Structure 1
Amino acid sequence: MDSASQLPGLRRSYEGQPLLEADLSDDPLVQFTLWFADAVAAGLPEPNAMILATASSGGRPSARTVLLKGFDERGFTFFTNYESRKGRDLAENPRACLLFPWHPIRRQVRVEGRSVRLSREETAAYFNSRPYGSRIGAWASRQSAVVRSREELDARYRELAERWPTDPPVPDFWGGYRVLPSEIEFWQGQTDRMHDRIRYRLNGGTGPNAVWLRERLAP
């Protein structure tokens, strides 16, 4: 049986403006900035939500949704607990993939690259900009660890809130990562499954001195 027949009504045809090389920037970070602005303007609820895929040293994959907290010519940043599954994966295997699934505007962006930890200064600057409750939450949650109950988790939160009623310090097990892109692909949905896919591949240099090769992929 065709598996699609089990999901009636989910077949659809994508229609979008053609994605032509002549209309794209030579720099994929500039192009991402333009598309990100389009996603914001379209009213997507969380345009900075991205799927982060990692793999352990043994090749076991894992994916989850995290929030992009910044991007520039150096790469894409997010924050997490270093002891979480994604943190452990990145310690063993720094390669990562990001996916921005902007379905309502029939676009997606995929980023591949190597991750590096942000400096403690960068981490502290972001951590101290967060709401108080989120800062306590970072301490209270040993992310990805098994907990016996919700009550245990809430009790730990209350204990830490009593310890630090105003300014909790930055946890040493928590911080930021930057994904240094080596490949960025832009996908634009089109009719008849003839989607546009434009991939940029790093061809030398890094950061603002990066040289990118641009190529079209079959849908």
Structure 2
Amino acid sequence: MDIGDMRRDFESDGLDRDQLDDNPMQQFQVWFEDARKADILEPNAMSLATAGNDGLPDLRTVLLKYFDDSGFVFYTNYGSRKAHEMEQNPKAALLFPWLGLNRQVRIQGKVEKVSKTESLRYFASRPRGSQIGAWVSEQSKVITSRGLLEQKVAEIKRKFNDGEVPLPSFWGGFRVVPHSIEFWQGRPSRLHDRFEYNQTEPGDGKLWTIDRLQP
């Protein structure tokens, strides 16, 4: 199938340096709120790229659950494929494709586990069905039928009955601590505006350089 003629011009007012906050996390919050107000479907959906010891890139979509100056937090099964890859190589890349606004945000950084307290706080806020699902699924493992999965759901429901569902020891959060964040604004004729923040000093007092990149 030849789809070479599928294209559209990205119409927007563009992006200039004086429109950007000096702190990329503050700038991300501005764009995130813009995406929410524009009714972008799942504005917190982000592509997560990882690679294990074999160097083979892996990619999937996960949901951002929290962000602040420390980084971007999501939750998963610690036995999953992505968790194993991040243990082997604690680095990751994120992509927020807000194409309805002709925008993308690209992030690179190191990965660390969040505290058990943070994981417990978020787990307690989840719907009961999602809590039970976390107990049921050995994420990324082979299963012969959906019927077995539904059987495990029934078993876990009986186990906890109507009581509190505790945090599984094999489930929790990861934080991507950014060292590079790029804000991409689509423009006509593929002459897009791109600004990249790069960390210049480690630690809580981190400083950032801001550079315009060629499209």
Task: State yes or no: 1:84 paired with 2:80.
Answer: yes
- Which of 135, 145, 159 is matched with 1:139 structurally? 135
Q: CA deviation at 1:9?
A: 5.7
Mapped pair 1:49 → 2:66: no
Matching residue of 2:190:
193
Amino acid at match of 2:26: V
Distance 1:106 1:141 in 2: 36
Counting matched residue pairs gives 214
Q: Secondary structure at the match of 1:80?
A: strand
Residue 206 of structure 1 and its aligned partner are, at CA, apart by 2.6
Q: Could you state the TM-score of these two structures normalised by the residue count of structure 1?
A: 0.95
In structure 2, list runs of 5 or more residues that go unmatched: none
Listed as ranges, the matches of 1:31-110 within 5 Å are 31-110=27-106
CA offsets 1:171-194 (integer angstroms, 9 cap, x no match) = 111100111000000000000100
Distance 1:90 1:48 in 2: 21
Q: Which residue of 1 aligns with 2:110?
A: 114
SS of alignment partner, residue 204 of structure 1: coil
What is the distance in 2 between the residues matched to 1:111 and 1:130? 26
The structure 2 residue matched to 1:21, chosen from 17, 22, 39, is 17
Query: Which consecutive segments of 4 or more residues in structure 1 shift more than 3 A?
Result: none
Cα distance in structure 1, aligned partners of 2:120 and 2:13 = 42
Mapping for residues 131-210 of structure 1, pairs under 5 Å = 131-165=127-161, 166-207=163-204, 209-210=205-206
How far does residue 205 in structure 1 lie from its aligned partner after superposition?
3.1
Percent identity for Structure 1 against Structure 2: 47
Give the Cα–Cα distance (whole angstroms) in 2 for the partners of residues 205 and 55 of structure 1. 24
Instruction: Name the structure 2 match of 1:218.
Output: 214
Deviations 1:33-72 (A, max 9, x none): 0000000010112100000000012201100000000100
| Cα distance in 2 between the residues matched to 1:114 and 1:161 | 37
Q: TM-score, normalised by structure 2?
A: 0.97
State the superposition RMSD in angstroms: 1.1
AA paired with 2:103? R
Q: Distance in 2 between matches of 1:61 and 1:164?
A: 38
